[in-house]
């Protein structure tokens, strides 16, 4: 799009920002963003309510959308989820094992993993529960994750005939109950062999240039670009190849989406395990500079072709996509200059469109209305702002 290309020059920051980059001598503008020096952020009116105590223990930190001022989310602003707490692992006692239906079981220390080929990916991770509750709107962030590809290690271990599933276990454990039986189980998630050997999967030990923080899975986590957060097993301790489907809590009981369908005149629910990301977007912030307003947001969850923004009940307006920083699995930052808004309260809605022409569903779309559980809530988001 031509409009986008014109805007691109502005996004690159003009001469002042470029001079700044030269002075800092960074190889790429890692923190570029469509911001204007001296602009003011106008906080949203519809702030999320404080979450219940039990929820805050599992999700102690969320992204504050107004604070999104860079493509990458700094580690200290990155949301965190721990279903069984946030264990502190002593790396001297820690190894990663690859076991089960493999010809050659492996045991690796962190040093051995770090000596293997190094790859990075910029990936936007979103919790599948994000936007499922009014108090959960910041379960998302983008980081540069560094690690070693998983596929060559699985290749080295050699999956034996009959192996159908790869299970990733964390070092964190919790008490689980099925019917009246209580057991202790590790956090676990699985993938088919085809998904687990995808070349994009990383065994990750570095986040945004720092050693992987404890909260985010030190010393090692799986990074599964294109999947919801739940697939990215933290404090990774064991990888096991099995000859049956794995049905741990986070595959088979929790993180299960219930969607109703009309089947032969009957409403019947389909139960699916949360997996790959769905197309989504959200307005992040409204800024004002010299009396001129700008709406900035993000779009993610699929190959983004364009983003459209609607103010109140007005027409869908094309937003400009920031092309200065892009990666396949990272959110795209978009912006729309909002000229001459009338004083008062306004609703701002965004929708992403992917390269196949699919449109992020509206709140009243059947895919949203017929979904009974809160997982995978990728409907369009409307935020409210008051122009003074
Ligand atoms: N071992 C382990 N890994 C885990 C979890 C967990 O509770 N234990 N939570 C998952 C969920 S639900 C999400 S959304 C992401 C969040 O990653 P973050 O805390 O680094 O943001 O981690 C995933 N990996
Ligand atoms: Mo999650």
pLDDT recorded at residue 91: 98
Q: Which residues of the chain have pLDDT under 70?
A: 1-32
Is residue 376 in contact with ligand 1, taking CB distance under 6 Å? no
What pTM did the predictor assign? Answer: 0.92
| Cα 129 to ligand 2 centroid, rounded to whole Å | 6
Q: Is the CB of 86 inside a 6 Å radius of any atom of ligand 1?
A: no
User: 336 CA to middle of ligand 2, Å?
Assistant: 30
- Rounded to the nearest angstrom, the gap between the alpha carbon of residue 168 and the centroid of all alpha carbons in its chain is 19
Q: Do 166 and 196 touch, CB atoms closer than 8 A? A: yes
| Ligand 2 is an ion; residues with CB less than 5 A from it | 81, 127, 229-230
Distance from the Cα of residue 231 to its chain's centroid:
11
Measured distance CA(85)–CA(77) in Å, rounded: 19
Query: Residue 96 has what DSSP assignment?
Result: E
> From the CA of 340, how far away is ligand 2's center (Å)?
39
Ligand 1 in reach of 143 Cβ (< 6 A): no
Give phi and psi for 120, each to the nearest 5.
Answer: -125, 155
Task: State in Å: Cα 197 to ligand 1 middle.
Answer: 21
What pLDDT digit, counting tens, does each position of 32-43 carry? 689 999 999 999
Record the tokens describing residue 28, joined without a space.
Answer: 């790429």
Cis peptide before 219 (omega within 30 of 0): yes
State in Å: Cα 140 to ligand 1 middle.
11
Is any ligand 1 atom within 6 A of the Cβ of residue 80?
yes
Cα-to-centroid distance, 341 and ligand 1 (Å): 40
Q: Output the pLDDT for position 112.
A: 98
Q: What is the pLDDT of residue 324?
A: 85
* Residue at token pair 């701002």: 348
d(CA 111, CA 115): 6
For 260, the token pair is 């109703």
Confidence (pLDDT) at 32: 65
Name which of 79, 171, 85, 175 is nearest 128 in CA terms. Answer: 79
Sequence-distant (≥ 6) Cβ neighbours of residue 42 within 8 angstroms: 285, 286, 287, 288, 385, 386, 387
**What's the gap in Å between 255 CA and the centre of ligand 1?**
12
Distance, in Å, from the CA atom of 73 to the CA atom of 143, rounded to the nearest integer, reads: 6
The domains found in the chain, sorted by start residue, are 3-50+275-387 (2.60.40.650), 60-248 (3.90.420.10)
Q: What angle do CA 22, 146, 155 make, to 5 degrees?
A: 140
Tell the residue nearest (CA) to atom 12 of ligand 1: 230
Q: Nearest residue CA, atom 15 of ligand 1? A: 229
For the stretch 165-199, pLDDT in tens is 999 999 999 999 999 999 999 999 999 999 999 99
Q: What is the pLDDT of residue 374?
A: 95
Q: Give the residue, by CA position, lying nearest to ligand 1 atom 23.
A: 230
Please report, for the chain, how many H helices and E strands are present, in that order: 7, 21
Sign, CA dihedral 158-160-162-166, equals: negative
DSSP 3-state assignment of 102?
A: strand
Residue 302 CA neighbour count, 13 Å, CB half: 21
pLDDT digits (tens, 9 = 90+) for 252-289: 999 999 999 999 999 999 999 999 999 999 999 999 99
Residue 6 has what pLDDT? 32
pLDDT of residue 325: 86
138 lines ligand 1 (CB under 6 A): no
Contact 355, 341 (CB under 8 A): no
**C-alpha distance across the termini of the chain, in Å:** 33
Ligand 1, residue 236: give the atom nearest the CA.
Answer: 1
In Å, what is the CA distance from 98 to each residue of 7, 108, 151, 190? 49, 9, 12, 14
């Amino acid at each position: 799009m031509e409009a986008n290309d014109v805007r691109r020059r502005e996004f690159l920051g003009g001469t002042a920002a470029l001079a700044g980059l030269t002075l800092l001598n960074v190889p790429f503008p890692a923190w570029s963003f469509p911001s204007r020096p001296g602009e003011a952020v106008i906080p949203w009116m519809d702030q999320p309510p404080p979450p219940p105590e039990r929820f805050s223990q599992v999700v102690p930190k969320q992204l504050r959308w107004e604070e999104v001022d860079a493509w990458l989310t700094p580690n200290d602003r990155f949301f965190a989820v721990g279903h069984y707490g946030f264990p502190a692992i002593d790396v001297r006692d820690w190894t990663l094992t690859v076991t089960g239906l493999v010809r050659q079981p492996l045991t690796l220390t962190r040093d051995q993993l770090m000596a293997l080929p190094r790859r990075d990916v910029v990936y936007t991770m979103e919790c599948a529960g994000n936007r499922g509750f009014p108090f959960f709107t910041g379960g998302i962030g983008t980081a540069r994750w560094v690690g070693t590809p998983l596929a060559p290690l699985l290749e080295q271990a050699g999956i034996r005939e009959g192996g159908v599933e790869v299970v990733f276990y964390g070092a964190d454990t919790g008490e689980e109950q099925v019917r009246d039986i209580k057991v202790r189980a590790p956090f676990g998630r699985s993938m088919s062999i085809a998904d687990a050997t995808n070349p994009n999967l990383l065994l990750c030990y570095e986040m945004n240039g720092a050693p992987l923080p404890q909260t985010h899975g030190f010393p090692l986590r799986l990074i599964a670009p294109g999947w919801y957060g739940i697939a990215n097993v933290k404090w990774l301790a064991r990888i096991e190849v099995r000859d049956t489907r794995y049905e741990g809590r986070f595959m088979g009981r929790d993180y299960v989406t219930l969607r109703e369908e009309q089947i032969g005149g009957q409403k019947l629910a389909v139960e699916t395990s949360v997996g790959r990301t769905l197309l989504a977007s959200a307005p992040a912030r409204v800024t004002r500079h010299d009396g001129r307003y700008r709406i900035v947001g993000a779009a993610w969850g699929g190959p983004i072709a364009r983003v459209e923004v609607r103010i109140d009940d007005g027409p869908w307006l094309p937003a400009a996509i920031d092309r200065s920083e892009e990666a396949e699995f990272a959110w795209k930052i978009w912006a729309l200059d909002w000229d001459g808004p009338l004083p008062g309260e306004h609703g701002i809605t965004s929708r992403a469109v992917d390269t196949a022409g699919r449109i992020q569903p509206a709140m009243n779309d059947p895919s949203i209305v017929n979904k009974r559980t809160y997982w995978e809530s990728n409907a369009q988001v409307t935020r409210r702002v008051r122009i003074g």
